[in-house]
Amino acid sequence: MASYCGATASTGSGGVASSSHCCSISRLISSNCRSNHLLFTTAAGFRKRQFYVRSEAKPELKDAVTVKQGDASGIEKSKSNAEAVARRIKYHAEFTPSFSPEGFDLPKAYYATAQSIRDSLISNWNATYEMYERMNTKQAYYLSMEFLQGRALLNAIGNLELTGAYGKALTKLGHKLEDVVSQEPDAALGNGGLGRLASCFLDSLATLNYPVWGYGLRYKYGLFKQLITKEGQEEVAETWLEMGNPWEIVRNDISYPVKFYGKVVTGSDGKRRWIGGEDIVAVANDVPIPGYKTKTTINLRLWDTKVPPADFDLAAFNSGDHTKACESQANAEKICYILYPGDDSLEGKTLRLKQQYTLCSASLQDIITRFEKRSGENVTWKEFPEKVAVQMNDTHPTLCIPELMRILMDVKGISWKEAWDITQRTVAYTNHTVLPEALEKWSLELMQKLLPRHVEIIEMIDEELVNGIVSKFGKSDLELLEKKLNAMRILENVELPASIAELFIKPEETSAIDTSEVAKVSNKDSVVDEEDESVESNEEEEAELQPVPIPPKLVRMANLCVVGGHVVNGVAEIHSEIVKQDVFNDFYKFWPDKFQNKTNGVTPRRWISYCNPDLSKIITKWTGGDDWVLNTEKLAELRKFADNEDLQSEWRAAKRINKLKVASFLKEKTGYAVSPDAMFDIQVKRIHEYKRQLLNILGIVYRYKMMKEMTATERKEKFTPRVCIFGGKAFATYAQAKRIVKLITDVGVTVNNDPDIGDLLKVVFVPDYNVSVAELLIPASELSQHISTAGMEASGTSNMKFSMNGCILIGTLDGANVEIREEVGEDNFFLFGARAHEIAGLRKERAEGKFVPDPRFEEVKEYVRSGVFGSYDYDELIGSLEGNEGFGRGDYFLVGKDFPSYIECQEKVDEAYRDQKRWTRMSILNSAGSYKFSSDRTIHEYARDIWNIQPLELP
């Protein structure tokens, strides 16, 4: 196996300068996967780069940690030795290529600390990989467009049980651990819950010793960095890679060709081949993911994109046409520039589809290469599903299905029947949404142009599905059959196969009347029409002449996921029922055994132990040990002490410490001073109409309006002091969401500067919300809002994090709220709003003009329109809550319907908070009841029920 230093030395910013040192640390993971010919000959070779160090900068090697190849004992012995850790940090500080040799400031300290930790990770990482290879066990692969990792340093040293040693070592070097940790930028590889869930899963997979890898894309800029200005939200490019990423290792020897465009031809052997077009190369970047209190370290492989050097047009460059010379390089690199590029334009849609295919193609080629390597000389393809499980996180990786089929048939020479059986037994799909716009549909025309061979395969899958539907339902009830085909087909607005289409052709009516007589009558009638033509007939004629718009031909990706996979799972009990009874009801009736529920979870390591150390110490004390971090069932022990005054006193003290941290943070980031004595009321998540930040801010406007109508004494008696905190990003092209952000910030400016109100009410929008901000806000939270329209939030995971940290939720019966309320107790959850089964009827009532809004809701709308919060025109935003139906109107998300229930529930919140003993008891019972929502439990269920994999623990 090749040495690790070869790959590292070529990384530049991420590598270790001394090849001899890095060779001594460990060996290269999967170094044998050097060549691959799944599409065509790999064009990406690489040359090892040597680094030369000036003699005066030469370190004292006796201080370095030296480990024999394949032996981690030196690192193990240094774990509790702060002196040894300090020497390792100093070593990397001296040889870190991204920083000049002078000084040891915080950025350099962070980078050197991270690299020293990476040494430990690589040792365990290689041992993990080698065990997987040796055991040839079944391995799962988790494909996701997002991995919202957050900062890695504190998580890594915590999982490796090195927090104490690193804290002491950095103190010796003149820095505090928390200051060094704060230097790490959040990896901009995700947006919200989808990516954060994927990252929680990786932590649990490593902790539980399951053989699973993650696959994603290495976005250069991620989504965007959010600025809050007088105009509202503004977006700028994220700079998370500006100083390099010390956690990743570029694998220049692991690269795969990816093709776009071109054409499909039939060879002399009768096989279909995809030729020509645009060729790029996907290069692996590996990020080690350590488990907690285990040596198991799994891999997150992120793909970057480039072109072979041969594609650089040197002649064009030398002739002065620099743009043309770099065109192919630019086209390749932009695939991994940003997460979710705007898709209003054809170019944007094309780029998104390229991203999705790159993830699927590169990952599957890598998976297949590893399968073949493990199989040796005798590759038995029917055993592929017994060694490989592929999980598609939402519909973004749907192209895994036709891509796996293409490779098996066109490259490996397997028959359609066998390839389809292998694919269906390998792939599984997690559904994350019931929103129609989020169930992806791609233009068939665009896909035909970009991925012509895949469209052929999708058409064949669709035809097989159509034949299966006809076989199941028969031809006797054509109306039922047509309904089933319309609902279940993968191709939308595409002609049925001829043999099926003819079933629905109605025979033309024939008449016994002589056609010549008909012609005479017809001519006579036409003369009369010319003489007596009316305006009405003219209008009818013109209407008949208007061309009927041709609906676009589309590929329904969610349907393809259901058809091509062996399991479809929802992510909360109520969501999974909606998936079965509504979203995919026809499929559920067709394949009932395919559908499962896997309620989401979050890792208790990051979301209690590391982000809330003060509360963690209390939990450890009262539950009798720290094993709750691995076995969250132990949290239920807190129930026995919920009324204990000593516990309550300690619990409140921990909460106050966290609130003081947040108050300081808000002052620094926003300029607003808030009182730690007020209730901290928080809603942080992606800004979207269905998540109803609008309901929250209108409730605050109502509260403010009521306050302004009272005397100071009345205000103090009526209202509990609150700090209302918002955070989250509105997608750059989502105008209504950006209007909501603008309203929140405008309300904040007015309320926070009103001397009549003072500390009784504050409204703060935290800019650029991310994982690190969440780790600060969630431990300080006292009330958290999860108020989506019932039936529209698949699960949510932030609700779980808040509950774990002793925060009480106000919410609807939506997503995981339902299960959280069951676990923590109905008395410890503030419930309001319509139920999921009522929503369709309420929308129908609205469309029929029968809805009568609450007078308080009408007052609030007019108050916003009055200009009290500034001169911005809110007619578009408030107008969306009015009317009965129509795009952007008719209050589709039922803000007006739930408003009365919401503000009345908020009055109950105020009342409960005044009784601090009662509130603290509720807080303790929320933490105690959150044990179910550990991602460890979720991962055990995936491993058992979907992937059929077993844990493998390093000795």
* DSSP string of 138-197, one letter each residue: -EEEEE-S-------HHHHHHHTT-HHHHHHHHHHTT--HHHHHTTSPPP-S--SHHHHH
For the cut 50, the answer to whether the pLDDT of residue 668 exceeds it is: yes
Q: How confident is the model at residue 101 (pLDDT cuts 50, 70, 90)?
A: confident
- Per-residue pLDDT at 99: 79
What does each C-alpha distance from 415 to 63, 235, 247, 367 come to in angstroms? 60, 49, 42, 20
User: With 60 as the cut, is the pLDDT of residue 548 above it?
Assistant: yes
Closest CA to 297 of 137, 150, 113, 159: 159
Residues 6+ apart with CB under 8 A from 635: 619, 623, 628, 804, 927, 928, 929, 930, 931
pLDDT at 75: 46
More confident residue, 22 or 585: 585
Could you give the CA distance from residue 702 to residue 906 in angstroms, rounded to a whole number?
11
Task: List the chain domain ranges.
Answer: 79-430, 604-839+905-930
pLDDT at 311 over 90: no
- Using DSSP bridges, classify how beta strands 722-727 and 272-275 pair: parallel, antiparallel or unpaired: unpaired
pLDDT at 43: 37
Beta-bridge partner residues of 779: none
**pLDDT tens-digit series, residues 420-465:** 999 999 999 999 998 877 789 999 999 999 999 999 999 999 999 9
Lowest mean pLDDT among 138-147, 309-318, 701-710, 750-759: 309-318
Query: Between 166 and 56, whose confidence is greater?
Result: 166
Which of the residue ranges 6-15, 228-237, 630-639 would you say has the lowest mean pLDDT?
6-15
The answer to whether 811 and 799 are in contact (CB under 8 A) is yes
Q: Do domains 79-430 and 604-839+905-930 have the same CATH topology?
A: yes
Q: How many angstroms separate the CA atoms of 74 and 787, rounded?
A: 52
Interval 180-229: pLDDT, tens: 999 999 998 998 889 999 999 999 999 999 999 999 999 999 999 999 99
Q: Work out the mean pLDDT of the chain and round it to a whole number.
A: 89
SS3 340: coil
* Residue 120 confidence (pLDDT) above 70: yes
Burial 580-618 (b: 16+ CB within 10 A, else e): beebbebbbebeeebbbbbbbbbbbbbbbbbbbbebbeb
Mean pLDDT of 92-100: 81
pLDDT in tens, 345-399: 999 999 999 999 999 999 999 999 999 999 999 999 999 999 999 999 999 999 9
Catalytic residue numbers read 432, 685-686, 691, 797, 801
| Assigned token pair, 527 | 């003369």
Tallying the residues shown for the chain, one arrives at 955
For 378-387, b/e burial (b = at least 16 CB within 10 A) is eeebeebbeb
Core vs surface per residue 37-60: b (16+ CB within 10 A) or e: ebbeebbbeeeeeeeeeeeeeebe
DSSP 341: -
- What CATH code is assigned to 604-839+905-930? 3.40.50.2000
Give the model confidence (pLDDT) of 683-699 as tens digits: 999 999 999 999 999 99
Three-class secondary structure of residue 786 per DSSP: strand
d(CA 446, CA 452): 9
Split at pLDDT 50, 70, 90, the class of 540 is low
List strand residue ranges (DSSP E) for 212-320, in order: 212-217, 225-229, 232-236, 249-260, 263-266, 272-275, 278-290, 297-306
Q: What is the pLDDT of residues 19-78, one digit of tens each?
A: 333 333 333 333 334 334 444 333 333 333 333 333 333 333 233 333 333 344 344 444
Give the containing element (helix H, strand E) for 683: strand 679-684
CB of 892 closer than 8 Å to CB of 839: no
Helix, strand, or coil (residue 272)? strand
Report the top-level CATH class of 79-430. alpha beta
pLDDT over threshold 50, residue 14: no
The burial of 486, by beta-carbon neighbours within 10 Å (0-12 exposed, 13-18 middle, 19 or more buried), is given as exposed
- Kindly report the pTM of this predicted structure: 0.89
Residue 403 has pLDDT above 60, yes or no: yes
Quick one: what percent of the chain has pLDDT higher than 90?
Answer: 79
C-alpha dist (Å) from residue 427 to 147, 246, 390, 577: 20, 33, 5, 22
Q: What are phi and psi of 104, to 5 degrees?
A: -145, 65
- Mean of the pLDDT values across residues 227-243? 94
Residue 293 banded pLDDT, cuts 50, 70, 90: very high
pLDDT of 255 reads 97
pLDDT band at 537 (very low <50, low <70, confident <90, very high): low
Report the pLDDT value the prediction gives residue 544, as an integer from 0 to 100.
Answer: 60
Supply the pLDDT for residue 887. 84
| Per-residue pLDDT tens digits for 453-496 | 999 999 999 999 999 999 999 999 999 999 999 999 999 999 99
Place 103 in a pLDDT band, splitting at 50, 70 and 90.
confident
- Judged by average pLDDT, the poorest of 76-85, 106-115, 400-409 is 76-85
Q: Tell me the HSE value of 173 on the side-chain side, using a 13 A CA sphere.
A: 31
Q: Cα–Cα–Cα angle for 145, 487, 590, nearest 5°?
A: 90
CB-based contacts of 837, cutoff 8 Å, min separation 6 = 791
Mean pLDDT of 891-919: 98
- Within 10 angstroms of residue 278's Cβ, the number of other Cβ atoms is 16
8 Å CB contact between 718 and 760 = no
The number of angstroms, rounded, from the C-alpha of 739 to the middle of its chain's C-alpha atoms is: 24
Quickly tell me which residue has 């006809």 as its tokens: 470
pLDDT at 33: 40
Q: Which residues contact 589 (CB under 8 A, 6 or more apart)?
A: none
